[in-house]
Amino acid sequence: MVDMEGISGILRKSQVMGNEAHYQEGRRYLTADANACIEGCFAGGATKVVVRDAHCTGYNFIWDQLDPRAEYVQGMPPIERISDIDSFDGVILLGYHAMAGTGGA
Ligand SMILES: [Zn+2]
């Protein structure tokens, strides 16, 4: 599960909002962090990696730069973020953050 606000190099709102000046920069950081995580999963012995873009509309990755070994879920499903999640050995919450307005987060 990959969100955008906590990704390496993200430090301003304009990097995570689709209509803002620095959004493309944010997408590059997001894609790079996802690829690094995928690499780590396979290096650690994973045989299957499923990556879900969980930021906003779920269409933030730069698709032609993503690691082709992983499977990807895009868009926002109406009910579950990842179906059959109980069948996975683990879940990584990459780039996640506390809810907006949470004190001390
Ligand atoms: Zn987000």
CATH for 10: 3.40.50.10780
Q: 65 C-alpha to center of ligand 1: Å?
A: 20
Asked, for residue 104, whether it belongs to a domain, the answer is no
Tens-digit pLDDT profile for residues 78-104? 777 777 888 999 999 999 988 878 888
For CA atoms 93, 96, 97, 98, the dihedral sign is negative
Distance (angstroms) between ligand 1 centre and the Cα of 29 equals 13
> What is the Å distance from ligand 1's center to 53 Cα?
9
pLDDT, one tens digit per residue, over 23-53 is 999 999 999 999 999 999 999 999 999 999 9
Number of domains forming the structure of the chain: 1
The pTM is what? 0.90
Does a structural domain hold residue 14? yes
Q: How far is the CA of 48 from the centre of ligand 1 (A)?
A: 24
Give me ligand 1 centre to Cα 33, in Å.
14
Nearest CA among 94, 3, 98, 1 for reference residue 56: 3
Q: How far apart are CA 61 and CA 28, in angstroms?
A: 8
